[in-house]
């Protein structure tokens, strides 16, 4: 089965209030959506955050090379394209990730299987890590703690809250009071707040050792080389990896930390994430995938190294991704039942993609269409 058409869209969905993540302020959530269409009319879907990167433009260049390719030859198609652009590989990695996801989505649909069964299912439920504490600068500590308590009552075994990264005393107070409620369910996200090891050690010294499940992303991806030395200074495990540009960078990071934040939409798609998760399992590492629950849940179903999948709840008003997708996650008592619909997990609501498109939708067709 060959690819005969493709559609690319960049969407912008407004947020009710800005969200601050470390040095970044978000007033709208932007998404890149890719749909590949096969000869039989079936569609393979994928979606990601562009994060101000030129993903739309990269897909505009890359997608014509996908037309006419065979769904089952996805590694040859994607790896071949990246090899031909080896001197600018980083610029195409997120585009290649989307293309790989969409091709796997088509392959699973043609097999009539959800991706986790196509890969060889290990389980059909997975714990959920829920994100809390957005807009910390606009809230009281008591309000945040009430949110944490509610998530505990709902059964979530990991509850991740945001650190300000700029107000050490506030962060220490928030963590101390939230930990008194959640105990070792509590995790913290520093969102790239620190520039160096001494800076991070000072900023985090008041919460290290309290018993957090992990501290995420004290450094940006350009500072990934700092994790080796810094991890040896802390009692708390570190988690990172979602923004690293390729599987090789994630493998190098895994030498220094024990919790990998793999993002299938960034690291090279299902093919790369599948290999990385198998590597993590063999080396005793833990995987906590970054957001994009529909596809990460499918991979979690095939890999026990994945400890939980991540959910940004609707009430947070921070990630309206599900406005662009069919279906909602089936979560009860903090556990997700993995979707059994054939495919890789993403099912785009194309009319909504069109509605929120912020750039012209790109359409490509082969001679076979």
Q: Does residue 356 sit in the same domain as residue 271?
A: no
For residue 366, pLDDT over 60 is answered with yes
Residues forming beta bridges with residue 128, ordered by sequence position: 309
Q: Does residue 308 sit in the same domain as residue 162?
A: yes
Residue 342 forms part of a structural domain: no
Distance CA 124, CA 339 (A): 8
Task: Tell me what pLDDT residue 241 has.
Answer: 98
Q: Which is nearest to 103 in space by CA: 346, 350, 312, 339?
A: 346
Residue 241 forms part of a structural domain: yes
We report the CATH number of the domain holding residue 30 as 3.30.390.10
Task: Tell me what pLDDT residue 136 has.
Answer: 85
Q: Which two tokens stand for residue 154?
A: 């709902």
Q: What is the mean pLDDT of the chain?
A: 97
Q: Does residue 166 sit in the same domain as residue 262?
A: yes
We report the CATH number of the domain holding residue 152 as 3.20.20.120
Q: Does residue 204 sit in the same domain as residue 262?
A: yes
Q: Which residues of 79-104 are buried (b: 16+ CB within 10 A; e: fewer)?
A: eebbeebeeeeebbbbbbbbbbbbbb
Q: Does residue 87 sit in the same domain as residue 160?
A: no
Rg (CA), the chain: 20
Distance CA 148, CA 365 (A): 49
Angle at 31 (CA atoms; ends 25, 37), nearest 5 degrees: 170
Q: Does residue 92 sit in the same domain as residue 128?
A: no
Residue 124 forms part of a structural domain: yes
Task: Tell me what pLDDT residue 369 has.
Answer: 54
Q: Does residue 250 sit in the same domain as residue 315?
A: yes
Task: Count structural domains, the chain.
Answer: 2
Q: Does residue 333 sit in the same domain as residue 359?
A: no
pLDDT band at 20 (very low <50, low <70, confident <90, very high): confident
Percent of the chain with pLDDT over 90: 95
Q: pLDDT tens-digit profile of 70-91?
A: 999 999 999 999 999 999 999 9
Task: Tell me what pLDDT residue 368 has.
Answer: 60
Residue 79 forms part of a structural domain: yes
Task: Tell me what pLDDT residue 367 has.
Answer: 79
Q: pLDDT tens-digit profile of 264-303?
A: 999 999 999 999 999 999 999 999 999 999 999 999 999 9
Residue 265 lies in domain: 117-337
Query: Residue range 200-218: average pLDDT?
Result: 97
Distance CA 333, CA 80 (A): 44
Q: Are strands 125-132 and 158-162 parallel, antiparallel or unpaired?
A: parallel
Task: Find the Cα–Cα–Cα–Cα dihedral 263, 213, 238, 234, rounded to 10°.
Answer: 180
Distance CA 69, CA 76 (A): 9
Query: Residue range 254-272: average pLDDT?
Result: 98
Q: Both ends of the chain: CA-CA distance in Å?
A: 12
Q: Does residue 224 sit in the same domain as residue 277?
A: yes
Residue 204 forms part of a structural domain: yes
Span of 23-27, 99-103, 250-254, 354-358 with lowest mean pLDDT: 23-27
Residue 306 forms part of a structural domain: yes
Q: Which is nearest to 66 in space by CA: 37, 25, 88?
A: 37
pTM over 0.85: yes
Query: Residue range 340-366: average pLDDT?
Result: 98
Residue 218 forms part of a structural domain: yes
Alpha helix stretches (DSSP H) within 283-349? 293-302
Q: pLDDT tens-digit profile of 95-139?
A: 999 999 999 999 999 999 999 999 999 999 999 999 999 998 889
Query: Residue range 312-331: average pLDDT?
Result: 97
Q: Which residues contact 88 (CB under 8 A, 6 or more apart)?
A: none
Q: Does residue 361 sit in the same domain as residue 296?
A: no
pLDDT band at 236 (very low <50, low <70, confident <90, very high): very high
Q: Does residue 229 sit in the same domain as residue 154?
A: yes
Distance CA 341, CA 111 (A): 11
Q: Does residue 230 sit in the same domain as residue 353?
A: no
């Amino acid at each position: 089965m060959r690819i005969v058409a493709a559609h690319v869209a960049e969407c912008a969905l407004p947020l009710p209030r800005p969200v601050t993540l470390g040095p970044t302020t978000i007033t709208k959530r932007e998404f890149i959506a890719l749909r590949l269409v096969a000869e039989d009319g079936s569609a393979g879907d994928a979606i990601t955050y562009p994060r101000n990167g030129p993903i739309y433009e990269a897909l505009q260049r890359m997608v014509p090379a996908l037309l006419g390719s065979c769904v089952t030859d996805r590694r040859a198609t994607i790896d071949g394209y990246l090899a031909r652009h080896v001197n600018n590989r980083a610029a195409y990695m997120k585009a290649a990730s989307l293309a790989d996801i969409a091709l796997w989505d088509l392959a699973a649909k043609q097999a009539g299987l959800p991706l986790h069964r196509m890969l060889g299912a290990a389980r059909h439920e997975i714990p959920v890590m829920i994100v809390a504490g957005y807009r910390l600068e606009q809230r009281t500590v008591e309000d945040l703690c009430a949110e944490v308590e509610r998530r505990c009552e709902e059964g979530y075994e990991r509850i991740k809250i945001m650190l300000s990264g700029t107000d050490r005393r506030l962060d220490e107070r928030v963590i101390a009071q939230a930990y008194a409620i959640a105990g070792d369910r509590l995790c913290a996200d520093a969102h790239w707040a620190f520039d160096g090891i001494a800076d991070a050690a000072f900023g985090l010294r008041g919460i290290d050792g309290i018993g957090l499940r992990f501290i995420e992303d004290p450094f940006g991806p350009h500072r990934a080389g700092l994790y080796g030395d810094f991890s040896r200074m802390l009692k708390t495990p570190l988690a990172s990896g979602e923004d690293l540009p390729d599987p090789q960078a994630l493998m190098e990071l895994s030498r220094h930390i024990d919790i990998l934040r793999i993002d299938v939409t960034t690291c090279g798609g299902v093919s790369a994430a599948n290999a990385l998760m198998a590597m993590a399992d063999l080396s005793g590492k833990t995987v906590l995938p970054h957001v994009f629950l529909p596809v990460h849940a499918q991979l979690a179903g095939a890999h026990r190294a994945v400890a939980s999948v991540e959910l940004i709840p609707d009430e947070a008003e921070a990630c309206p991704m599900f406005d662009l997708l069919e279906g909602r996650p089936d979560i009860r008592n903090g556990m997700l039942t993995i979707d059994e619909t054939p495919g890789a997990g993403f099912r785009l609501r194309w009319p909504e993609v069109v509605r929120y498109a912020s750039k012209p939708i790109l359409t490509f067709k082969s001679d076979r269409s």
